[in-house]
Chain A
Amino acid sequence: MAERTHDITLVVNGTVRRAAVPGRRLLSDCLRHDLGLTGTHVGCEHGVCGCCTVLLDGEPVRSCLTFAVTVDGREITTVEGLADGERMSPVQRAFAECHGLQCGFCTPGFLCTVTALLRDNPVPTDEEVLEGISGNLCRCTGYQNIVKAVHRAAEIMAEES
């Protein structure tokens, strides 16, 4: 018997998107498979690695621990939605400048998490940065440059505001 599907509407990166999904479709899989937005990466699928972090109505959440059908009607921002057209966002530029990424697998989750962190706290201390990114794992670059990139992004945002 075919699994029952639910028609949902999401506003993803400012665009209204529709999909028919089974109740068990994870938001991460909906974004990647149903909507073709493969910038959201899937690592552990049980909430540990943070790679799949997206913004739900502006708040960072684990898209692998959220059902797509639960967030019907809500606004989602993925890594594809952070740049302003062709120009990368301050957080993206800071990560590039400070070598805050290497293989890039964890990067979409870090970028979404840090974007919300700096919106809520434009001048975080080292401790606040560490607490803010504590739910995101990086297995190659290491965290030193990522922490630098967060502070650099804060500088860029202050310069450009």
Chain B
Amino acid sequence: MKPPPFDYHAPRSVAEALDVLAAEGERAKVLAGGQSLIPLLNMRLAAPGHLVDINRLTGLAGVEVEPDGVRIGALARHAEVERSEPAAAAQPLLRQALGLVAHPVVRNRGTVVGSLVHADPAAELPAVLTLLGGSVRLARRGGPGTPAAGSSTAQDVAAGGSFVVRDVAAGEFFTGPLESAAGPGELAVSAFFPALPPRSGTAFREVARRHGDYALAGVAALVVLDDDLRITSAAVACVSAGPVPLLVDVTGECGHRPPASAGWAGAARAVQDRAEPEDDIHATAGYRRHLIGVLAERALRDAAREALNG
């Protein structure tokens, strides 16, 4: 129950961190809050040769609320984002989900971007990023002659050299259980969560064995209404429903109707049909599928209520 030995690196700049990551490749792991990585190390389920501790990169600690969304730096702790009123006003699903992430003491250390890169399909934040269509910004060492592959690229000049960044959309970022698109040599520097559109609402519902545990099943929902307060878009993202967060568009099942007469039950069935939950010691796949349906309907109804009240 003690971590295996590793070479410890404490870079003072993003450029320095990227140098170490570029040099060590797959042998290196990034340490931010450590609330997922250190348990894995303590249980010796992970044994990286090099640990790159980014806790001194205070420039990555920001939570910036922009007109179109919230950009969260790699060192922003869950608790800071949860407390941020501007972030909650721009995208209420962040606070709704963060209150369900582990316990308050763990949220004091754990980071939002770290949760995304950890890519646990049982975790809340990957589902949130997926539902909202957010993205993760990855940086790696590179010069003007080495443009990065990806949906968009940009270059930045850091102290001591240049690096290349790419933004990876949530739909491409989560590639499997505990697997993300972040490659060797790359550092996730921030994540972007789009703002809530007008006349829309969100909700997060989950069931866990004990408060703060990973959920047996969970559903985040986003419902958008038009000027006549009819549903124009409804979607959910499910936790523990497959190898990656499961995004299901249920606009058709809900119908272009006011929330009071929407087809919630049909929408819930559609979500259940798409889910691929697994059996484990905590719950059977069948029970998880049942929960996903129940939670999808509740989350959609709650999100619609939020949209009407907003």
Residues of A within 8 A of B (CB): 3-4, 6, 22-24, 26, 29, 45-47, 50, 53, 56, 59-62, 64-67, 69-70, 113, 130-132, 134-136
Contact = CB atoms under 8 A, between A and B. Distances in A.
B105 A46 contact: no
Interface in B252-285: none
Contacts of B2: 24, 26, 29, 45
Contacts of A4: 7-8
14 contacts: A22-B8, A23-B6, A23-B51, A26-B38, A53-B105, A62-B35, A62-B105, A65-B39, A66-B34, A67-B38, A70-B55, A131-B211, A134-B104, A134-B212
Main secondary structure of the interface of B (DSSP, over half): loop
B176 interface: no
A135 B79 CA distance: 14
Contacts of B6: 23-24
Given A23-B8, A24-B6, A26-B2, A135 B34 contact: no
B31 A61 contact: no
B104 A67 contact: no
Contacts of B51: 23
Given A61-B108, A64-B42, A135-B212, 8 more contacts: A26-B42, A45-B2, A47-B35, A56-B108, A62-B106, A65-B38, A65-B106, A135-B105
Main secondary structure of the interface of A (DSSP, over half): mixed
Contact of B105 (A23, A26, A50): A50
A67 B53 contact: yes
Contacts of A65: 34-35, 38-39, 42, 106, 109
B104 A131 contact: yes
Contacts of A6: 8
Contact of A61 (B3, B4, B109): B109
B51 to A, nearest CB: 6
B154 interface: no
B8 A45 contact: no
A127 to B, nearest CB: 11
